[in-house]
C-alpha cells in the first residue's frame, strides 16, 4: 500500500516538474514578453532607454537558463513571483481568485452530475420511444452549444429580458445561478453520454436478468445493481473533465465578469504574464493529478473486485 | 349632457394643470442636483497601473480622474486653462520658468497637505522620473529641470529649454497630484488602486483586482475647479467601477437598469440606446486621428509614390458610412477638427483610385497573375496588426484591405497574441503599416505620436526600435521639436499646421476618422462631464432616482 502511494506521489511530482518546465519553455519561445507588452504600450509613453531600465529591474536581461533555475528555486520555496501586469505578488492574485473559481467549479460540477444522472436514469426507465430518444440526444445537443453563446443567451433572456437575475452587482449567491448553469451544461454532456451507454451495457448482463427474475422491480434493479456498476466509467471521465471545468470557468468568468482563476488565466495569457501562468499551470496540474489519484482510490470502494487486482495490495 | 360637457372641460383643465405641474417639477429636478446614491459604471477593461502618467489608458484615466485633482483645469469647450489647485500662475517670456500659487486648505485623503512642497515633489517625479522607485517620466512634460518651493503655497518650475506645453500639461490626466506617500511607493505597487492617495472628490475605498473598484465621495472636498457650477462635495455618495468585458452585457445591463453609465458603446449599439431614450455621450479625443501610418524603412513603402497611391486608394468616407455613426466624423487632416492647431487638409485626402493606379504603375509595380502588383519578383503585400483599443479596428482594416485590393495592393491583417503584436510592430520589415491614434488637447500631441523618442509610429532610426536600418526624417523631427518648443502660441499653432501638411505631403499617414470615446448613460443620470480628451468626470454627476 505505501509503495503504491509513494509510487503515485513520485509520479505526481514528476508530472508537476514536467508541467513547470514545459510551460516555462513554451512561454519563453513565444515572441515578446510581459515587460514588452506592458511598457511598450504607447499609452505609457516610455522611451526605449526607460524600457531597457525596466527590463533590468525585472531581471529579464538575465540568461534564460538562470531565469529557469531561479524561478524553479523560488517555486520550491513557495515564492510564486510577481505579476508584471497587475503589479502585485502572484500569491495575492491566487488567494483572491482561487476560492471563487473553486466554488463555481464545485457547484457547476455538482449540477452537471445531477443533470447527467437524471438524463441517464430517466432515459433507461422511460418506455416511450420518442421521449427516450429525445432524452438520449440531449448530451449531443449540450456538448455542441458553445459556452460563451450559452452564457450570453442566458444573460439576455433571464437578466435583460425577464429581469429575474441581475448580472451586474448581484447578491453573492444569486450571481452564481446563471454561471453555474452555463458551466454545467457542457460538462454534463459527456457524463450523461457515458452513463447512458454503461447503463445499457450493464443491463444486458446476466445478473440483471437474475435479479429481475427474482422479482425485483425495474427501478429497484437500476438503483441497487446497475447504478453501482455503471458509475465506474463515468467516474473516470469525471476525473478527466476537470480540464474541461477549468476551460469552461475561463469562458464563464469572462462572460459574466466574475472574479476567478479563469479570468486571471485569460488576462495572463493576453499579457504573457509568465509568473501568473506558471503558477496556474502548476496548480492546475496539481489539481488534475490529485483528482485522478482520488478517482483511482475510489474505484475499489465501488467495485470490490478491483481491490485484489489494480495493485492496491501490491 | 351639458353638465357632462362642463365636467369634461373641468377635468381637462385639471389635467392640463397637473401636466404643467409635473413638467415644472421635472424641470426643477433637472436643474437642482440630488445628493446621494451610488453610480454603477461599467468599464470594458481592468485598470493596469495607476501611476498618474500612465493615465492615458482609458480604464486608468477613468479612475484617476475621480480620485486626483490637477494643478489647472482645461475647459473642455474652450480648451482654455483655468484655475483648480493653482489659484493663479505666471511664466517668463521664454516659457522656461513657471510659478504657481496653490489654493490654501487642500488636503490629500490621508490628511496630509497639498501644498507647494507636495506639488513640487509630484512634478519632480513626473518631469524627471524616479529610478529608485522605477517611476517613469511623464510624456506630457518636456525639458523639465527642477522645482523650487518659494513659500508654503508658491512653487516655481524651471526648464532646460522652452516648454510651452507645460501649462496644458498640468491639466492632463497624467499630471494628477498624489500624496508624498504614493510617490514613495514602487511603480509595481501602484497597480493596487487603494495605494493611490489623491485629493480628488472621490477616494478608493475597496478594490477587487481585475474586477471592481469602489469609490466613496469625500465629504470634506471643497476645492473643485473654480469655474465649475458644481462646488463642495460630489453629489454621488459613491461609484462602483465594474469591469465587464462583453460589449453586449454592458449595453444590455444599462438598458435593463442594472447599470447607470457604460464606456465603449459600439456604433451599432448606439441606435438601441437612443431608441429607449438612453443618452449617448460621444466625447471627441481631440488628437491624432484614427488611421494607418507607414513604416518607410520597409522597402515596400519607402517610395513616396506608393504611399501616395495607398492614400488615394483609401476611401475614408466609405469606412465611416459603413461602420460608424455620426459620432465618428471622417478625418480631414492628421489631427481632429477639435484639436489644437488643426488645419483643413481634406483636399489632400481625396479618394482617387485611378490616380492611385497611375502612381503605382509609375513606381514600377505591375499587376501580377493574381491581381496583386509585383516588382522585381516581390509582391506588394503589406502587413498590419489589428489594434484592440480602437473601435471596430478589424472591420476598418478589412474594409481598407478591400479598397486597396481594387488597385492591386494586398493588406494582411493579423490579430496575433499580444507578444507577437508588440514585437512585430517594432519591426518595419514585419509591419509596413501601423494603426495610429493619440488623444491630447495640445499641439504637443502630434510630437507624441511621431517623434522618434516618443511613440515613434513611423519607426525612425534612433527611435524605439533597433530593427530600423535607415529611415529617419530630420525635417519632420525638426518641425516636431519646433512645435514643442515654440513659445509664441500663434506661431506654435502655425507650426502644427506645417507638420500636418508635411505628413500628408509625404503620405506618412492615412487619417481615416476622428475617434471619439463613446459612453451611454441612464436617462436619470445627470451632470456627467468629460475632461478635454473624453475621460468622464463624476464630480458634478447626480442620480435623479436612486
DSSP secondary structure, A79-108, as one string: ---B-TTT-SBHHHHHHHHHHHHHHHHHHH
Tens digit of each residue's pLDDT (9 = 90 or more) over A52-100: 777 777 777 778 888 888 888 888 888 888 887 777 788 888 888 888 8
Find the range with the poorest average confidence among A273-277, A301-305, B1-5, B515-519.
Answer: B1-5
Assess whether pLDDT exceeds 90 at residue B110.
yes
Q: Does B368 touch chain A (CB under 8 A)?
A: no
Read off the pTM: 0.81
Give the pLDDT score at B480: 93
Q: Does A56 touch chain B (CB under 8 A)?
A: no
**What average pLDDT does the segment A157-169 reach?**
87
Helix intervals (H) in B367-487: 393-405, 418-425, 444-450, 474-485
Place B30 in a pLDDT band, splitting at 50, 70 and 90: low
d(Cα B542, Cα B531) in Å, to the nearest integer?
17
**What average pLDDT does the segment B352-378 reach?**
93
**Which of A40, A87, A169 is closest, CB to CB, to B188?**
A87
Tens digit of each residue's pLDDT (9 = 90 or more) over B412-443: 999 877 788 888 888 999 999 999 988 777 77
Give the pLDDT score at A154: 92
**What average pLDDT does the segment B169-180 reach?**
95
Give the pLDDT score at B473: 95
Return the number of other C-beta atoms located less than 10 Å from residue B383's C-beta.
18
Place A258 in a pLDDT band, splitting at 50, 70 and 90: confident
Place A306 in a pLDDT band, splitting at 50, 70 and 90: low
Place B506 in a pLDDT band, splitting at 50, 70 and 90: very high
Place B15 in a pLDDT band, splitting at 50, 70 and 90: very low
C-alpha distances out from residue A3 to A14, A291, A299, A313, B245, Å: 16, 19, 18, 10, 50
Indicate which of A46, A58, A156, A264 best probes the interface with B, i.e. most B CBs within 10 Å of its own CB: A46
**Which of A87, A256, A272 is closest, CB to CB, to B190?**
A87
Residue B521, judged by CB atoms within 10 A of its CB (0-12, 13-18, 19+), counts as: buried
Q: Does A45 touch chain B (CB under 8 A)?
A: yes
Given an 8 Å threshold on Cβ–Cβ distance, is A45 in contact with B56?
A: yes
Cα dihedral A101, A107, A113, A116, rounded to 10, equals -100
Is B149 or A56 the better-scoring residue by pLDDT? Answer: B149
Q: Does B210 touch chain A (CB under 8 A)?
A: yes
Given an 8 Å threshold on Cβ–Cβ distance, is B137 in contact with A47?
A: yes
C-alpha distances out from residue A172 to A103, A167, B232, Å: 11, 11, 35
Assess whether pLDDT exceeds 90 at residue A13.
no
Q: Are B473 and B452 in contact (CB under 8 A)?
A: no
Tens digit of each residue's pLDDT (9 = 90 or more) over B372-419: 999 998 999 999 999 888 899 999 999 999 999 999 999 999 987 778
Q: Does B57 touch chain A (CB under 8 A)?
A: yes
Beta strands in chain A (DSSP E): none
Q: Does A40 touch chain B (CB under 8 A)?
A: yes
**For residues B33-69, b (16+ Cβ closer than 10 Å) or e, as one string?**
bbeebbbbbbbbbbbbbbbbbbbbbbbbbbbbbbbbb
Assess whether pLDDT exceeds 80 at residue B521.
yes
B 184-203 residues with CB below 8 A of A? 187-192
Beta strands in B21-85 (DSSP E): 38-43, 72-74, 81-83
Residue in B closest to A274 by C-alpha: B419
Residues of B in contact with A178 (CB under 8 A): none
Q: Residue holding cell 505609457?
A: A44
Place B20 in a pLDDT band, splitting at 50, 70 and 90: very low
Give the pLDDT score at A75: 84
d(Cα A185, Cα A140) in Å, to the nearest integer?
11
Give the pLDDT score at A273: 85
Given an 8 Å threshold on Cβ–Cβ distance, is A160 in contact with B426?
A: no
Return the number of other C-beta atoms located less than 10 Å from residue B235's C-beta.
22
d(Cα A55, Cα A33) in Å, to the nearest integer?
10
C-alpha distances out from residue B342 to B439, B479, B513, Å: 14, 15, 14
Is A240 or B308 the better-scoring residue by pLDDT? Answer: B308
Return the number of other C-beta atoms located less than 10 Å from residue B151's C-beta.
10
d(Cα B149, Cα B494) in Å, to the nearest integer?
35
Q: How far is B68 from chain A (nearest CA, A)?
A: 18
Amino acid at each position: 500500500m505505501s509503495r503504491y502511494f509513494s509510487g503515485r506521489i513520485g509520479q505526481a511530482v514528476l508530472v508537476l516538474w514536467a508541467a513547470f518546465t514545459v510551460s516555462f519553455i513554451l512561454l519563453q519561445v513565444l515572441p515578446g514578453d510581459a515587460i514588452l507588452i506592458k511598457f511598450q504600450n504607447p499609452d505609457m509613453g516610455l522611451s526605449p532607454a526607460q524600457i531597457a531600465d525596466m527590463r533590468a529591474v525585472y531581471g529579464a536581461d538575465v540568461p534564460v537558463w538562470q531565469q529557469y533555475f531561479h524561478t524553479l528555486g523560488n517555486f520550491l520555496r513557495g515564492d510564486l513571483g510577481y505579476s508584471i501586469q497587475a503589479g502585485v505578488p502572484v500569491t495575492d492574485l491566487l488567494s483572491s481568485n482561487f476560492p471563487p473559481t473553486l466554488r463555481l467549479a464545485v457547484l457547476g460540477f455538482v449540477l452537471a452530475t445531477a443533470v447527467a444522472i437524471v438524463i441517464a436514469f430517466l432515459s433507461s426507465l422511460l418506455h416511450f420511444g420518442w421521449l427516450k430518444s429525445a432524452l438520449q440526444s440531449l448530451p449531443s445537443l449540450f456538448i455542441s452549444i458553445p459556452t460563451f453563446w450559452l452564457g450570453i443567451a442566458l444573460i439576455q433572456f433571464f437578466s435583460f429580458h425577464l429581469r429575474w437575475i441581475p448580472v451586474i452587482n448581484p447578491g453573492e449567491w444569486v450571481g452564481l445561478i446563471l454561471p453555474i448553469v452555463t458551466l454545467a451544461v457542457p460538462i454534463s454532456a459527456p457524463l450523461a453520454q457515458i452513463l447512458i451507454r454503461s447503463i445499457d451495457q450493464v443491463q444486458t448482463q446476466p445478473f440483471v436478468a437474475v435479479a429481475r427474475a427474482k422479482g425485483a422491480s425495474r427501478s429497484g434493479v437500476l438503483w441497487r445493481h446497475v447504478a453501482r456498476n455503471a458509475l465506474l466509467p463515468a467516474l473516470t471521465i469525471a476525473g478527466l473533465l476537470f480540464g474541461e471545468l477549468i476551460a469552461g470557468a475561463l469562458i464563464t468568468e469572462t462572460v459574466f465578469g466574475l472574479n476567478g482563476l479563469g479570468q486571471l488565466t485569460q488576462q495572463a495569457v493576453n499579457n504573457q504574464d509568465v509568473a501568473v501562468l506558471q503558477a496556474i499551470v502548476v496548480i492546475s496540474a496539481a489539481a488534475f493529478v490529485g483528482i485522478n489519484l482520488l478517482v483511482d482510490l475510489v474505484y475499489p470502494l465501488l467495485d470490490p473486485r478491483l481491490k485484489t487486482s489494480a495493485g492496491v495490495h501490491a | 349632457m351639458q353638465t357632462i360637457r362642463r365636467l369634461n372641460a373641468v377635468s381637462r383643465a385639471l389635467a392640463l394643470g397637473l401636466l404643467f405641474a409635473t413638467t415644472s417639477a421635472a424641470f426643477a429636478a433637472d436643474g437642482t442636483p440630488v445628493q446621494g446614491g451610488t453610480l454603477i459604471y461599467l468599464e470594458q477593461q481592468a485598470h493596469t497601473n495607476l501611476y498618474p502618467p500612465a493615465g492615458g489608458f482609458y480604464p486608468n484615466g477613468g479612475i484617476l480622474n475621480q480620485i486626483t485633482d490637477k494643478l489647472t483645469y482645461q475647459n473642455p469647450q474652450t480648451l482654455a486653462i483655468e484655475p483648480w489647485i493653482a489659484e493663479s500662475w505666471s511664466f517668463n517670456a521664454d516659457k522656461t520658468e513657471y510659478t504657481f500659487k496653490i489654493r490654501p486648505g487642500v488636503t490629500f485623503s490621508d490628511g496630509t497637505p497639498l501644498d507647494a512642497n507636495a506639488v513640487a515633489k509630484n512634478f519632480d517625479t513626473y518631469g524627471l522620473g524616479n529610478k529608485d522607485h522605477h517611476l517613469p517620466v511623464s510624456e506630457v512634460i518636456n525639458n523639465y529641470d527642477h522645482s523650487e518651493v518659494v513659500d508654503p503655497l508658491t512653487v516655481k518650475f524651471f526648464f532646460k529649454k522652452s516648454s510651452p506645453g507645460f501649462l496644458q500639461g498640468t491639466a492632463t490626466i497624467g499630471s494628477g497630484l498624489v500624496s508624498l506617500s504614493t510617490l514613495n511607493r514602487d511603480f509595481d505597487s501602484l497597480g493596487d488602486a487603494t495605494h493611490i492617495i489623491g485629493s480628488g472628490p472621490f477616494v478608493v475605498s475597496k478594490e477587487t483586482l481585475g474586477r471592481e473598484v469602489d469609490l466613496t465621495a469625500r465629504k470634506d472636498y471643497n476645492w473643485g475647479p473654480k469655474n465649475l457650477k458644481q462646488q463642495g462635495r460630489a453629489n454621488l455618495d459613491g461609484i462602483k467601477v465594474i469591469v465587464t468585458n462583453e460589449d453586449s452585457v454592458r449595453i444590455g445591463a444599462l438598458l435593463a437598469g442594472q447599470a447607470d453609465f457604460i464606456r465603449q458603446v459600439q456604433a451599432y449599439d448606439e441606435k438601441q440606446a437612443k431608441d429607449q431614450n438612453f443618452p449617448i455621450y460621444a466625447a471627441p479625443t481631440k488628437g491624432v486621428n484614427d488611421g494607418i501610418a507607414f513604416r518607410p524603412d520597409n522597402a515596400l513603402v519607402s517610395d513616396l509614390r506608393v504611399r501616395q497611391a495607398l492614400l488615394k486608394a483609401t476611401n475614408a468616407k466609405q469606412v465611416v458610412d459603413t461602420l460608424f455613426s455620426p459620432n465618428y466624423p471622417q478625418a480631414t487632416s492628421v489631427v481632429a477638427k477639435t484639436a489644437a492647431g488643426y488645419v483643413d487638409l481634406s483636399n489632400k485626402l481625396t479618394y482617387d483610385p485611378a490616380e492611385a493606379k497611375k502612381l503605382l504603375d509609375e513606381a514600377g509595380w505591375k499587376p501580377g497573375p493574381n491581381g496583386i502588383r509585383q516588382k522585381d519578383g516581390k509582391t506588394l503585400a503589406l502587413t498590419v496588426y489589428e489594434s484592440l483599443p480602437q473601435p471596430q479596428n478589424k472591420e476598418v482594416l478589412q474594409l481598407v484591405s478591400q479598397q486597396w485590393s481594387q488597385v492591386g495592393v494586398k493588406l494582411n491583417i493579423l490579430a496575433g497574441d499580444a507578444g507577437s503584436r508588440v514585437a512585430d510592430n517594432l519591426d518595419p520589415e514585419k509591419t509596413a503599416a501601423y494603426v495610429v491614434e493619440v488623444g491630447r488637447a495640445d499641439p504637443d500631441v502630434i510630437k507624441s505620436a511621431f517623434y522618434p523618442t516618443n511613440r515613434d509610429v513611423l519607426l525612425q532610426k534612433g527611435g524605439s526600435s533597433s530593427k530600423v536600418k535607415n529611415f529617419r526624417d530630420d525635417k519632420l523631427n525638426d518641425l516636431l521639436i519646433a512645435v514643442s518648443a515654440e513659445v509664441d502660441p500663434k506661431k506654435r499653432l502655425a507650426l502644427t499646421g506645417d507638420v500636418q501638411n508635411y505628413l500628408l505631403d509625404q503620405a506618412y499617414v492615412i487619417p481615416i476618422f476622428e475617434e471619439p470615446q463613446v459612453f451611454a448613460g441612464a436617462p436619470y443620470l445627470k451632470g456627467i462631464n468629460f475632461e478635454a480628451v473624453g475621460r468622464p468626470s463624476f464630480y458634478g454627476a447626480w442620480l435623479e432616482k436612486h
